[in-house]
Structure 1
Amino acid sequence: MKFARHSRRLMHTRSGWICAPDSFKGTVDSVTAARGLAQGLHPLPTRVLPMGDGGEGTALAIEASQGGRWVNTSLGPARLGGPPQKGRWLDLGNRCAFVEFAQGAALETVPSTHPPDPGKMSSHPVGELICSALDSGARRLVIGLGGSGTVDGGAGLLQALGGRFQAAGTTLRAPITASDLQILESLDLTEVRRRFRGISCTLAADVVNPLLGPQGAIAQYGAQKGLRPEEFVRFEEGLRRFSRLMGAKADQPGDGAAGGAAFGLRAGAGGTLVAGAQLVGTLVGLQEACSSAEWVVTGEGRYDDQTRQGKVPWAVARCARACGAKVALVAGQIDPATLPEIKRMFDFHLELSGCLKDVTASSGTESALQEAGRQLRVRLASSKPPLEP
């Protein structure tokens, strides 16, 4: 009985708020989003815990928790005919490097004057980032896979790492693209495997989708990257041909991350696939924070049917619920079709679309997040049970 009373007392010691959002794509990174929410929650005791899932902004979230040193490097264009670009990777010390795919081949690298065309996009610049980290002495690589504008299966980055690709009896010149996969005849990854000998390579995937099929990289993400419906079959066959030539089964959850680059790095460089949001959660101490918090606030730019495929809000909600904390969702937009699952997974949700209307500047989004924090404070801080939005 004494133990039972002690347990009840411990349950009532929960206090404070955790702000653990992802980036709000195209507007603010997760660090800025977490701080904005926390400012709105002031003066409630609040801790910011920026999150990431392998997509854009993940490196910033890791830097906020672990520190590190940014290493800048020059990269080739992600789009055929495009301009050279600047990229960077995060040196975490102890010969460990974090490379973010979106630093080299994000959809946002396509100039606004050009319509998205993943057939002309290459992951080659990401391979250049990895080369820079390896050349600097890194022996442990963590590669964040998400936020890509490519569907080349990682062939471009493997080429940058020394891979050779042949079609019509000749070696394809760099950078190889998804369109080249459809005519590919053979490949040689001897140099890639030599470079990765003795290297620990962890692949932090932002989704659990496979490479191929109705839940694969093309079927689920082709449209948002610019593929037209009539192109889906052709690019799917390109990835299928690539996987056959790689000599590896494309059957692991997460193989479809970053346009299939997860598969390319797993099969070609011996990388180990992990859930990106869980990896970042471990690094930043999410479970420990949730164990003592009363409320955990998470969010992203748009909550839709892809969120439950491994995105930050889903991972944070699962962790918070397992730890006994209440969890609130703040999203720029919410797909109405997901409302039933949101009501099952979250204790409260708030959509920012009204606040964000006609706002494109980062400062506007941050102000909207501050207002969201204020609304959460007013509506939830003393509510038992939590109010419906």
Structure 2
Amino acid sequence: MRVVMAPDSFKGTASAADVAEAVADGWRSERPDDDLVLLPMADGGEGTLDAVARAVPGSERVPVTVTGPDDRPVETAWLRLPDGRALVELAATSGLTLLDDLRPDTAHTTGFGQAIAAALDAGATGLLLGIGGSASTDGGVGALQALGLALGTAVPTGVTGGEVLDHVPPVDATALRPLPPLGAVVLSDVTSPLLGEHGAAAVFGPQKGVTPDRTAVHEDRLRRWAACFPDVDPTAAGAGAAGGTGFGLLAWGARIASGAATIADAIGLSAAVAGADLVVTGEGRFDAQSAEGKAPAVVRALAAGLGTPVAVVAGALAAPLDGFTLAASLTVIATQITGEPDDALRDPLRFARIAGARFARAQDA
């Protein structure tokens, strides 16, 4: 058999590449002669750069030092693709995992903008911008300032992040860097608008430390930010992604696309699936949100269109499994093996190997 391993990361516990390797190891223990193709997936969040770097021959990591979301320097990299485009990952420059403590008012996206500027300085002909995993609710103002945006009013020294939005409008975009020739594509699996009950502050603010009594403050800041760009629609799908960074990038002239679908195209997943007998995908938790453009849903749809069976492995399965021929929950496997469901969080790769072995045995049933 030819089997494609295309899981997303198990957020907070295992990278997509590690999960793909673990499932493959389990499969080989039962069917060592099968041809396994490892194409770890991503949707624009943490691990996107790693997934593309692994899957695209000739891609090159370019080191860069940026200002992290709490002002500490971050040693990171952007990815130069063989076609001249650059991939920049917000999670690696301005991400939540870079904070020791949540900073709901002052965390910022400056480092993300600095990395984008570095890629442009190096001659990037186009940009792929993964914006999952943001630490801030600054509307992307930090990133745009790093790209040349000026504020029309003086901002007190030391004010960063969402607090900057207390000092807008107006803004001066005349010095904002132009888009590269091939433009900028924002990779996101989030369809939220900028404002309202489904917007950046209400839905994603809490994970960044915004308490209920402060939600209205952040909402008002983002509304002021939206007023700076009257020609940009704050209700656009994805404008609320990454604490409103989606909106900021739309204001720059970027367009938003499905992160998982764009990454699938970049790594050549369609061709691999077309030549496979089975595809294995997955993520940390497969739930109702998974159907809204996340990697497993994109892989499932791609496989269905090509007539290739698809299996899913997840830390937990909490949604209907329509369209999957096989499924494995690491929590269930851990409960069966050790009696402790939390072992799936402590050692997910152990149970991913078991899932891979079970999938392989099912081929001989």
TM-score, structure 2 as length reference? 0.89
1:238-253 matched pairs, under 5 angstroms: 238-247=221-230, 248-253=232-237
Q: Deviations over 1:247-292 (max 9, x none)?
A: 221232222222221211111x211221111111112222222233
CA distance in 1 between partners of 2:223 and 2:131 (Å) = 20
Residue identity opposite 1:38 in structure 2? A
Residue identity opposite 1:50 in structure 2? P
- Which residue among 99, 108, 125 is the counterpart of 2:88? 99
Residue identity opposite 1:102 in structure 2? A
2:348 is the counterpart of 1:357 = no
Partners of 2:120 and 2:180 within 8 A in 1: no
- Which residue among 214, 234, 247 is the counterpart of 1:231? 214
Aligned to 2:244: 260
Partners of 2:169 and 2:227 within 8 A in 1: no
SS of 1:118's equivalent? coil
Aligned to 1:75: 66
- Cα drift, residue 381 of structure 1: 1.4
Q: Deviations over 1:147-175 (max 9, x none)?
A: 21222111110011111124xx4245576
- Cα drift, residue 58 of structure 1: 0.9
- Cα drift, residue 206 of structure 1: 2.6
1:306–1:233 Cα change, 3 Å: farther
- Cα drift, residue 358 of structure 1: 4.5
Q: Deviations over 1:327-381 (max 9, x none)?
A: 22211234xxx43xx22243332221353734767xx333322122112222x31
SS of 2:75's equivalent? strand
CA distance in 2 between partners of 1:373 and 1:175 (Å) = 50
1:197–1:85 Cα change, 3 Å: closer
- Cα drift, residue 205 of structure 1: 1.6
- Which residue among 144, 151, 154 is the counterpart of 1:158? 144
Superposed CA RMSD: 2.2
Partners of 1:164 and 1:171 within 8 A in 2: no
Partners of 1:328 and 1:349 within 8 A in 2: yes
Unaligned runs of 5+ in 2: 335-340
Partners of 1:34 and 1:50 within 8 A in 2: yes
Partners of 1:182 and 1:234 within 8 A in 2: no
1:50-65 matched pairs, under 5 angstroms: 50-65=40-55
Aligned to 1:66: 56
Partners of 1:209 and 1:309 within 8 A in 2: no
- Which residue among 68, 77, 102 is the counterpart of 1:88? 77
Partners of 1:124 and 1:176 within 8 A in 2: no
Aligned to 1:170: 154
CA distance in 2 between partners of 1:359 and 1:318 (Å) = 27
CA distance in 2 between partners of 1:291 and 1:174 (Å) = 54
Aligned to 1:272: 255
| Bigger mean CA offset, 102-111 vs 256-265 | 256-265
Partners of 1:159 and 1:175 within 8 A in 2: no
Residue identity opposite 2:267 in structure 1? V
CA distance in 2 between partners of 1:320 and 1:359 (Å) = 27
Partners of 1:164 and 1:172 within 8 A in 2: no
TM-score, structure 1 as length reference? 0.83
Partners of 1:210 and 1:251 within 8 A in 2: yes
Q: Deviations over 1:184-234 (max 9, x none)?
A: 231112111x44364621211232222223332233322222222222222
- Cα drift, residue 321 of structure 1: 1.9
Aligned to 2:164: 180
- Cα drift, residue 19 of structure 1: 0.9
CA distance in 2 between partners of 1:375 and 1:98 (Å) = 36
Aligned to 2:36: 46
1:255–1:185 Cα change, 3 Å: closer
Structure 1 residue ranges, 4+ long, deviating more than 4 angstroms after superposition: 172-175, 358-361
Partners of 2:130 and 2:259 within 8 A in 1: yes
| Bigger mean CA offset, 351-360 vs 154-163 | 351-360
SS of 2:14's equivalent? coil
1:328–1:229 Cα change, 3 Å: farther
Paired positions, count: 352
SS of 1:251's equivalent? coil
- Which residue among 285, 288, 299 is the counterpart of 1:305? 288
SS of 2:312's equivalent? strand
SS of 1:237's equivalent? helix
2:15 is the counterpart of 1:25 = no
CA distance in 2 between partners of 1:177 and 1:199 (Å) = 29
SS of 1:133's equivalent? helix
Residue identity opposite 2:98 in structure 1? T
